[in-house]
Chains A and B, each alone.
Chain A
Amino acid sequence: MIRVVLPAHLRILARLDGEVTLGVDGPVTQRSVLDALEARYPMLRGTLRDHATKKRRAFVRFFACGEDFSNELPDTLLPEAVATGAEPFLVVGAIAGG
């Protein structure tokens, strides 16, 4: 199972208390994780990436295992530790604004 940690505003929007665990079919990538997340929580559609182009929103970042995966191609494999659930996939609001 994949573990996903969302920022507080999106946890409230999705009515979540803690992290999300998701089953992902096939390769574990940024795209497949977000597809699974949005399928389970449709209210998150459009808040992380554009509805149509699937481009990441500018002030949203994706971290895992101490690294920034925000600018990786969406189909790049995420680390094995994310795929096994040992480490979470972190969705983070960028430090911008106030």
Chain B
Amino acid sequence: MSAIRLLVGTRKGAFILTSDGKRKKWEVSGPHFAGWEIYHLKGSPVDPNRLYASQTSGWFGQVMQVSKDAGKTWEAGGNEFNYAGTAGTHLWYDGTPHPWEFKRVWHLEPSLTDADTVYAGVEDAAIFRSADSGRTWQELPGLRGHPSGPKWQPGAGGMCLHTIVLDPSDAKRMFIAISAAGVFRTDDAGETWRPMNRGLRSDFMPDPTAEVGHCVHRIAMHRSRPGVLFMQKHWDVMRSDDAGESWKEVSGNLPTDFGFPVHVHAHEPETIYVVPIKSDSEHFPPEGKLRVYRSRTGGNEWEALTNGLPQSDCYVNVLRGAMTVDSLEPCGVYFGTTGGQVYGSADAGDKWKPIVRDLPAVLSVEAQTLP
């Protein structure tokens, strides 16, 4: 019988939630790495027992963890993230040049074909690759070396490379997103990168439609249609039908188009999910009602999903990495909140239940569908 494993990163440790395919009863394991911030943990699609975790602390910096037995035991990996060549500068919040400094790993993306290979998106924004199961890391410097690099500027959360999307149909193509630079795509396995931000508009920029500088919060793809991308931007929900070459807005009837996560249904590539948040200064749901919005039309037409979610006095946030889906039928959808709840739906979002209510603030949620 199938099973689901949820990998939950929080401000004070990691938790692993497991259930059988019915998704009614859950076992909670953790906290792993108690007291540390776990920005992200993710399993290899090649070997689901191979888990990678980013463990960070304001005191002790970055630690990488690798498990080969689904989180029962962990080994510390390498934590040396050296920018290639001369690090150079980007722009600081005040617009002055600021040296590139490694701070932490935000996102881990295991290879689709090799369990020992994993990509890391880091702050200050860069992408690293390990081909030895996280023991050593090498930067793919072509991204940071893009001519626009010295003009990249941090968003409120820091200048982070927070999203990596691998194209399952083309091993040399991947997409990344940086706050606040935007989306970049490589077609040569990371040697060179191009900005993919045409059609985005950001009014906080002197040129609102500039090629680079947009605060993209998340991008998502359905593996059956790698040319179609969805984006939750600082403001605006966007869609691209040409692998990022151009974007159009699909915010439609959302109550607000500010938010962080966006995700695609496992079996319906035109069904997508977002969690609208009131504004960039009020990071909580409008009217105190926690609502996931689902579009079955690839955007523009949205329905509120509220069954089982708090509909009064709810002022949590859902961060960019904290929503995911499983691949069972019907599709399971999960998200975690800054209030420490992890909600799950075993019917594509129609009904929700809290799996756990009182974890530390949730930073990331990943689902593994196990045979």
B82 contact set on A, CB distance < 8 A = 51-52
Compute how far the CA of A21 lies from the CA of B130 in the bound complex, rounded to whole angstroms. Answer: 34
B174-229 interface (Cβ within 8 A of A)? none
Q: Does A9 contact B36, Cβ atoms closer than 8 Å?
A: yes
> Contacting B58 at CB < 8 Å: which of A10, A45, A48, A59?
A59
- The residue of chain B having its C-beta at the shortest distance from the C-beta of A49 within the complex is B61
B61 contact set on A, CB distance < 8 A = 46-47, 57
> Contacting B59 at CB < 8 Å: which of A43, A46, A59?
A59
Q: Does A9 contact B76, Cβ atoms closer than 8 Å?
A: no
> Contacting B80 at CB < 8 Å: which of A46, A59, A97?
A46
Q: Does B79 contact A60, Cβ atoms closer than 8 Å?
A: no
Which of B60, B62, B79, B80 is the most central at the interface, judged by chain A CB atoms within 10 Å of its CB?
Answer: B60
User: At the interface, yes or no: B141 with Cβ under 8 Å from chain A?
Assistant: no
A10-58 interface (Cβ within 8 A of B)? 10, 12-13, 43, 45-48, 51-52, 57
User: At the interface, yes or no: A96 with Cβ under 8 Å from chain B?
Assistant: yes
User: At the interface, yes or no: B256 with Cβ under 8 Å from chain A?
Assistant: no
Compute how far the CA of A8 lies from the CA of B60 in the bound complex, rounded to whole angstroms. Answer: 12
Per-residue contact bits, chain B 289-319, to A (CB 8 Å; 1 contact, 0 not): 0000000000000000000000000000000
User: At the interface, yes or no: B131 with Cβ under 8 Å from chain A?
Assistant: no
Chain B: minimal CB distance from A30 (Å)? 17
Q: Does A9 contact B79, Cβ atoms closer than 8 Å?
A: no
Q: Does A93 contact B59, Cβ atoms closer than 8 Å?
A: yes
A94-B80 contact, Cβ under 8 Å, with A9-B35, A9-B36: no
Query: How many chain A residues touch the partner (CB < 8 A)?
Result: 20
B62-96 interface (Cβ within 8 A of A)? 62-63, 76, 79-80, 82
Compute how far the CA of A93 lies from the CA of B36 in the bound complex, rounded to whole angstroms. Answer: 13
Per-residue contact bits, chain A 72-98, to B (CB 8 Å; 1 contact, 0 not): 000000000000000000000110110
Chain A: minimal CB distance from B218 (Å)? 27
Chain B: minimal CB distance from A20 (Å)? 16
- The residue of chain A having its C-beta at the shortest distance from the C-beta of B58 within the complex is A97
Chain B: minimal CB distance from A43 (Å)? 4
Compute how far the CA of A87 lies from the CA of B62 in the bound complex, rounded to whole angstroms. Answer: 30
User: At the interface, yes or no: B57 with Cβ under 8 Å from chain A?
Assistant: yes
Compute how far the CA of A48 lies from the CA of B61 in the bound complex, rounded to whole angstroms. Answer: 8
> Contacting B60 at CB < 8 Å: which of A10, A51, A52?
A10
Compute how far the CA of A47 lies from the CA of B36 in the bound complex, rounded to whole angstroms. Answer: 12
Compute how far the CA of A52 lies from the CA of B102 in the bound complex, rounded to whole angstroms. Answer: 12
Chain B: minimal CB distance from A89 (Å)? 17
Compute how far the CA of A52 lies from the CA of B80 in the bound complex, rounded to whole angstroms. Answer: 9
> Contacting B63 at CB < 8 Å: which of A43, A57, A94?
A43
Compute how far the CA of A45 lies from the CA of B64 in the bound complex, rounded to whole angstroms. Answer: 12
Q: Does A57 contact B59, Cβ atoms closer than 8 Å?
A: yes
Chain B: minimal CB distance from A56 (Å)? 11
Per-residue contact bits, chain B 29-69, to A (CB 8 Å; 1 contact, 0 not): 00000111000000000000000000001111111000000
Q: Does A60 contact B60, Cβ atoms closer than 8 Å?
A: yes
Chain B: minimal CB distance from A62 (Å)? 13
> Contacting B76 at CB < 8 Å: which of A43, A51, A52, A60?
A43
Q: Does A9 contact B58, Cβ atoms closer than 8 Å?
A: no
Chain A: minimal CB distance from B86 (Å)? 13
B35 contact set on A, CB distance < 8 A = 8-9
A46-B79 contact, Cβ under 8 Å, with A57-B59, A57-B61, A60-B60: yes
Compute how far the CA of A47 lies from the CA of B104 in the bound complex, rounded to whole angstroms. Answer: 12
Q: Does B60 contact A47, Cβ atoms closer than 8 Å?
A: yes
Chain A: minimal CB distance from B216 (Å)? 29
- The residue of chain A having its C-beta at the shortest distance from the C-beta of B55 within the complex is A13
B60 contact set on A, CB distance < 8 A = 9-10, 13, 47-48, 57, 60, 93
Other than A9-B35, A96-B59, give 6 A-B pairs with Cβ distance below 8 A.
A9-B57, A45-B80, A47-B79, A57-B60, A93-B60, A97-B59
Can you offer 28 A-B residue contacts whose CB atoms are under 8 A? A7-B59, A8-B35, A9-B35, A10-B60, A13-B76, A43-B63, A43-B76, A45-B80, A46-B61, A46-B62, A46-B80, A47-B60, A47-B63, A47-B79, A51-B79, A51-B80, A51-B82, A52-B82, A57-B59, A57-B60, A59-B58, A59-B59, A93-B59, A93-B60, A94-B59, A96-B58, A96-B59, A97-B59
